[in-house]
Chains A and B, each alone.
Chain A
Amino acid sequence: MIEVFLEWRFLTIAPCDAAEPWQLGSQDAATPIMQGIIDLHHDIFFFLILIFVFVSRMLVRALWHFHEQKNPIPQRIVHGTTIEIIRTIFPSIIPMFIAIPSFALLYSMDEVVVDPAITIKAIGHQWYRSYEYSDYNSSDEQSLTFDSYTIPEDDPELGQSRLLEVDNRVVVPAKTHLRMIVTPADVPHSWAVPSSGVKCDAVPGRSNQTSILVQREGVYYGQCSEIRGTNHAFTIVVEAVPLKDYGSRVSNQFILQTN
């Protein structure tokens, strides 16, 4: 019994920032945006439960009291000023309480307040994704570019998540403002990492930007969120490393590529 429990805990906790089996809630937030999304969800859920309880009570009460023998004649009230004022005011105040934090969050997601420190380009291809780190280039030809393929179903190593791990992860520094430029090379894609609260459409011929501030080091899993044929749920793995390690990780890869 305890083994089954431990195994279940292990299996569900091991990937940390990936989807868990039978998961109902959000993944743990890694960025302030995702924290905002989770908080907004909880705020709205308060009103949802409030309305649900109130409406159910009225419904059940009406059904309970409407009885052929006990109450053969229904009440014939057609007007009541107090109740009409209440049922007009309250339903118009509640959406306001939902709309204000919702818009605040929406606009804060769009806002690029500070200059980003790094730009990473995520280029969607039909069955893989390529990433370009071009902040350090001195010519058009030279660029740190690599492809990121999902590890196929039949060869993940022990501990890797099935159809979720990739061969080359995107390495980003934690606690740094990042600009992601998202564009595809063929069909529409969508670059999504749930724990970062990011879902950015990649539209052919257009480049979209989204900013990320990863607050803790970790490995974050996501999938392409645009259905476009077989094996469409293409994996995205973001690895956030401390800023001091980022430089060496990137320059090592850069040296490997340019030599």
Chain B
Amino acid sequence: MAEIELKTAPADFRFPTTNQTRHCFTRYIEYHKCLNAKGEDAAECQKFARYYRSLCPVEWVERWNEQRENGTFPGPL
């Protein structure tokens, strides 16, 4: 990993405000919806994963992953 590619989640017109909480949450949901629809190892879902990892604090993602395992995730999946 000597050369890194400068790429991150693009600016999304759905979330033009300073508050990006929903942006992160939506990308997380989009990723898991994509996995459910296209199978666990669909390559086209990986971009959503990159987006939510860029936008969401690690702590949030850990908590959501835990909630999904326990079946208590509050979002629509």
Question: Could you list which residues of chain A lie within 8 angstroms of chain B, going by C-beta atoms?
Answer: 110, 112, 114-119, 121, 123, 132, 134-137, 140, 143, 145, 173, 176, 179, 181, 183, 185, 200, 205-210, 243, 247-248, 250-251, 254-255
Closest Cβ neighbor of A134 among chain B residues: B53
Q: Is the CB of A135 within 8 A of B2?
A: no
Residue B75, interface by CB 8 Å? no
On whether the beta carbons of A250 and B4 are closer than 8 Å, the reply is yes
Residues of A within 8 A of B54 (CB): 119, 134-135
Question: A112-B11, A116-B8, A181-B20 are known contacts. Are A136 and B55 too (CB-CB below 8 A)?
Answer: no
Q: How far is the CA of A205 from the CA of B61 in the complex (A)?
A: 13
Write the chain A residue with the least CB distance to B17. Answer: A110
Complex: A155 Cα to B9 Cα, angstroms: 40
| Pairs A-B, 8 closest by C-beta atoms | A115-B10, A119-B54, A119-B8, A209-B20, A117-B6, A112-B11, A134-B53, A135-B8
Q: CB < 8 Å: which of B3, B5, B55, B58 contacts A119?
A: B55
**B55 contacts A207, C-beta separation under 8 Å:** yes
Does B18 have its Cβ within 8 Å of any Cβ on chain A? yes
Partner among A176, A200, A209, A254 whose Cβ is within 8 Å of the Cβ of B1? A254
Bound CA span A121–B9, Å: 13
Residues of B within 8 A of A176 (CB): 6
| Chain A, residue nearest B3 (CB) | A247
The answer on a CB contact under 8 Å between A207 and B65 is no
Bound-state Cα–Cα, A256 to B19, Å: 33
Interface string of B39-77 (1 = CB under 8 A from A): 000000000001001111111011001000000000000
**Residues in chain B near residue A136, CB distance under 8 A:** 1, 4-5
For B15, give the chain A residue with the smallest CB separation: A209
Does the CB pair B8–A140 fall under 8 Å? no
Residue of A nearest to B24 (CB): A207
Q: Which residues of A contact B20 (CB under 8 A)?
A: 181, 207-209
Docked-complex contact B10 and A207, CB < 8 angstroms? no
A207 touches B11 (CB 8 A): no
Give the residues in chain A near B58, CB-CB below 8 Å. Answer: 132, 134, 140, 143, 145
> For A207, what are the chain B residues with a Cβ–Cβ distance below 8 Å?
19-21, 24, 55-57
Confirm or deny: B14 has a beta carbon within 8 angstroms of a beta carbon on chain A.
Answer: no
Other-chain contact of B21, A145, A206, A210, A250 (Cβ < 8 Å) = A206
Q: Do B8 and A118 have beta carbons less than 8 Å apart?
A: yes
Closest to B56 in A: A207
Known: A206-B19, A247-B2. 15 other contacts (CB 8 A): A112-B16, A118-B8, A119-B8, A121-B57, A135-B8, A136-B4, A179-B9, A181-B24, A181-B55, A183-B57, A207-B21, A207-B24, A208-B19, A209-B23, A210-B18
